[in-house]
Chain A
Amino acid sequence: MSQPVVHIQNLNLQYQQSLVLQDLNWTILSGENWLLDGESGNGKTSLAKVIAGLLAASGNIKINFNDTNKLTAKVLLVESWYQFKNLEGVANFYYQQRYTSQQAKETLTVKAELAYYAKENHLSIDDVEPILEIFNFSSLQNSQLIELSSGEHKKLQLVKALWLKPQVLILDQPYTGLDFKSRKSLNLLLDEAASAGVTLILISNDDDLPSSINRFATIVNKKLVTVNTKIDLQQFIPQRENKTIPTFLRTSPVYSSQQIAKMENIQISYGDKKVLKNVSWEVKAGEKWLLQGHNGSGKSTLLSLINGDHPQSYANTLYLFGNKRGSGESIWDIKQHIGLISPEFHWYFDASATVWESVASGLYDSVGLFRQLPYSKSILVDELVEYFGLTEEKNRLLNTLPLGAQRLVLLARTIIKNPELLILDEPCQGLDKQQTQHFNQLVDELCSNGMTLIYVGHFESQLPNCLEKKIVLDNGEVILIEKIDKESKKHKASDALSFALSI
């Protein structure tokens, strides 16, 4: 028998004061492709980083590369977090920056980034073209990195990995933010890579996996546990109790206007590139909307108009909470009605704030807390932090928590105000299945009190039940507005979307 590709013995990993992985063993043979799943925060990401050589740990970790193989002798980890830097090498961006037009170019274009990557890894640009084609990425070559949506950043990461073809490819939550069609394409490309000899390690809780995945594992009590099928993994997710929601969130929000948002023929463009075309849409108090569309279809831009984040809203006909945009209101007047979360918002959030401060900052719509809280407010923060199971972590800095836990913090921040309007743009990224289910139940409960909701989600199986209307965007245009048929909601939603994407 040939040597194992990855051979780990007695791995121990410490983070700050506690052990994350303890005496962990794992053998990965040639021809095996693994799924690694389990409870959020169980050490999956840390293990991936150790194998990729990005985290130091004690124990024996041996990677045996195949010298006769044409594939790059490398372990590549596609992290669930994307990173890019500006031309001066700094990664200090802010959330609204991509909507603002500045002539001084801050970041590389996609094309330049790919050229740089090619040079660094001795790759040929010709080889990337078909991958770009499959991901519908070719038209984005001249876009600056700062202009890409979170889904597009995820695709760029995947494009690079599939282009490099490392002997061992680890993907941490690769489906995050990808639309239906891209998820399918990714699976095909991963199967292709596997049959070319790439060893896959996939960290995901998605149902639809590449068919080449043939081994299954999770981490329980800091050790690896292997099982025979994906279904067997479910037993290891502990049943968390479903708590009752805090009293202050059980009251109906007070509406300042029955009209939440009204858009008339909205046009948004950057130079010659049109991002929204003739969009008209009205959201009334208490409505529950599902917003869908492929990656780059303009969803985030549409939501940024409602949240007061887009400079071009001043030249469009837009009413928010009963007032015409640009009639003397400040963005803080708008934001006080809204609780928002999105992948970009998380990405740009100030991770050097503590958990408690981050939640509290939602009361003032700021990124980080800059004010003293009155006692009456700080007890609400305590209560919500407890509800989300974060009390033990409340004084920790956000950037010391796993991504799933960070996401919970930001979800708590989103609802701390008991806002009139909840904007949830893929809120459950990084959460495990049960956390997702719990959060969606919470959303249902909040909405039953009369809260208005706009929800963006690519995974049809992971939506709250309260959604009643749907708007679908395609290349910046509204192609569908309809009521959701409650009975056959999930089935129909996915049908309509695949239909929308096929045209």
Chain B
Amino acid sequence: MANYFNTLPLREKLNQLGVCEFMDNAEFADGVNALKGKKIVVVGCGAQGLNQGLNLRDSGLDVSYTLRKEAIESKRDSWKNATENNFKVGTYEELIPSADVVVNLTPDKQHTAVVNAIMPLMKQGSTLLYSHGFNIVEEGMQIRKDITVIMVAPKCPGSEVRAEYVRGFGVPTLIAVHPENDPEGKGLAQAKAYCVGTGGHRAGVLKSSFVAEVKSDLMGEQTILCGLLQTGSILSFDKMIEKGIDAGYASKLVQYGVEVITEALKHGGVSGMMDRLSNVAKVKAFEVSEELKDIMRPLFQKHQDDIMSGEFSRIMMEDWANGDKNLLAWRAETGETAFEKTPAGDVKIGEQEYFDNYLLMVAFVRAGVELAFETMVEAGIKPESAYYESLHETPLIANTIARKKLFEMNRVISDTAEYGCYLFDQACKPLLADFMKKVNTDLVGKNFNEGKDGSVDNRRLVEINEILRSHQVEVVGVKLRKAMTAMKAIKTA
């Protein structure tokens, strides 16, 4: 199979990368009608599979699950998840032939095998739904021409998809129709209906394309979301230990700090996050993050280039074929870092203290968010898509670090994201070596404001505020966040 994106002429590449429209509420007025009475069969019953299915059924739709024969016979967890919640469960042969919509919610790595197994069983004119476009775009999977191919991608973990639905809200969602597979022109209506069924329409929906979703999703997760949070956390912790800060304190500051800091990002964007600092600290964080942007820009660009050319997926699939040798080695290495092995100390850290004593992370987050966003937009991805895959998702990933550090983050994210995260981390650490030599505890571990009188130059401060607020990620963010006002606030530890 050939990389789909690379088979396209440039005009069509740009065309598909540029699909991006924030959808109006009125577009969802038909509710779930396009799927009413249709048989929806979900392949896989993990966290996304189960929770999306529960939502769809509670929206009045007909949902059942299909699992591999072995999973049913040995009563695996996926089988229990489905049956104990009273869903009908059957093998591919039993359920796929009568399905109107087949929802593929298995991990990326299994997509080719799963799709090859179910496609011959799918009925004429049915629909295949993905929640990630990797299989179609990077692996170039060809789907039978009578089948409609759509994507509905909730931008949250499965448990959140459920929790937000039952409280009457939803999670932000991306939808798309694959232009090669929309024979009857019904793809968009079905994707919208599915989105209503999972509650996504209440929290902001972005119409995207398979290509735009994949190329931006890969870029976001490798750089700012996982890669930089991992690199920044490890470097910060090691610096504090080197400078004699108590290990328990350092561990707690790093583990929870990123969540508290990005919570401000979630509500007020980069400027909202920077506003949490005192004026002197803000000026410093601005300068540090400018320096970080200069240092890391080539690395961000390399990642985007490799994603666009298909080089990234080529080497990752090589590793798949090699029994995940690199992935497993990097995973083991991460589990052995000092940060991972030092439990968070039993110390109280106030909410503001996380900002004042962890200025370095504020700088890392600003640099990473803006760089990822800028690099994506330069590569032809629309600002709205770039926003979702950079700023919007950062707090969600930060939550996973707060739970159980980097190991937990890497467990929750997909193997694809994890692989990209390690690639970035391996290259970024040496790149920052000189920079880190200059860093002292005023940036990480101790209150930056300590011993300073707090005075700043007015003109400099105004200038910095202006630069922060007029960045495109802020302009587009203000608009998109309005649609998600009701997102839950975190509880600080």
Contacts and interface: CB of A to CB of B under 8 A. Distances in A.
A309 B37 CA distance: 22
Given A95-B166, A330-B59, A350-B167, A102 B50 contact: yes
A271 B85 CA distance: 10
B28 to A, nearest CB: 13
Interface in A96-145: 96-97, 100-104
Nearest to B169: A370
11 contacts: A90-B403, A103-B80, A103-B81, A311-B54, A314-B57, A328-B60, A332-B168, A350-B488, A366-B167, A367-B166, A370-B169
Interface in A321-367: 328-333, 350, 352, 361, 364-367
B464 interface: no
Contacts of B29: none
Contacts of A103: 77-78, 80-81
A370 B168 contact: yes
A365 B47 CA distance: 25
A312 interface: yes
Interface string B459-490: 00000000000000000000000000110110
A89 B403 contact: yes
Interface in B371-422: 403-404, 408
Nearest to A364: B168
Contacts of B163: 92, 94, 97
A466 to B, nearest CB: 30
Contacts of B488: 92, 350, 352
A31 interface: no
Given A94-B163, A100-B54, A103-B80, 12 more contacts: A88-B403, A91-B491, A92-B488, A100-B85, A103-B78, A311-B54, A314-B86, A328-B60, A332-B168, A352-B489, A366-B168, A370-B202
A88 B168 CA distance: 25
Contacts of A328: 36-37, 60
Contacts of A101: 80-81, 84-85
B93 interface: no
A368 interface: yes
Interface string B67-85: 0000000000110110011
A56 interface: no
A91 B492 CA distance: 11
A338 B37 CA distance: 26
B31 to A, nearest CB: 9
Interface in A351-389: 352, 361, 364-370
A88 B157 CA distance: 15
A338 B320 CA distance: 52
A329 B60 contact: yes
A254 interface: no
A92 B32 CA distance: 29
B23 interface: no
A120 B471 CA distance: 51
Which of the listed residues A102, A271, A368 has the most CB atoms from chain B within 10 Å of its own CB? A102
A458 to B, nearest CB: 27
Contacts of A329: 60
Contacts of A270: 84
B378 to A, nearest CB: 35
A496 interface: no
A260 B408 CA distance: 46
Nearest to A367: B167
Give the bracket for the number of chain A residues in contact with chain B: 35 or more
Given A89-B493, A308-B58, A368 B84 contact: no
A91 B202 CA distance: 25
A350 B78 CA distance: 31
A119 B488 CA distance: 34
A104 B85 contact: no
A144 B270 CA distance: 40
Contacts of B78: 103
A331 B169 contact: no
Contacts of B84: 101, 270-271
B166 A94 contact: yes
A315 interface: yes
Nearest 7 Cβ contacts at the A-B interface: A366-B168, A101-B84, A103-B77, A367-B167, A315-B86, A88-B403, A330-B60
Interface-central residue, B37, B59, B485, by most chain A CB under 10 Å: B59
B202 A311 contact: no
Contacts of A333: 60
A357 to B, nearest CB: 10
Nearest to A366: B168
Contact of B167 (A88, A89, A368): A368
A367 B489 contact: no
Interface string B175-208: 0000000000000000000000000001000000
Interface in B115-168: 162-163, 166-168
Given A90-B403, A350-B488, A352-B489, A365 B81 contact: no
Contacts of B493: 89
A413 B86 CA distance: 32
Task: Specify which of B36, B47, B169, B486 lies most central, judged by the most chain A CB atoms within 10 Å of its CB.
Answer: B486
B86 A311 contact: yes
Contacts of B491: 90-92
B486 A368 contact: yes
Nearest to A316: B86
B77 A88 contact: no
A260 to B, nearest CB: 20
Nearest to A268: B86
A431 B85 CA distance: 37
Contact of A311 (B59, B77, B85, B408): B85
B170 to A, nearest CB: 9
A368 B58 contact: no
B167 A94 contact: yes
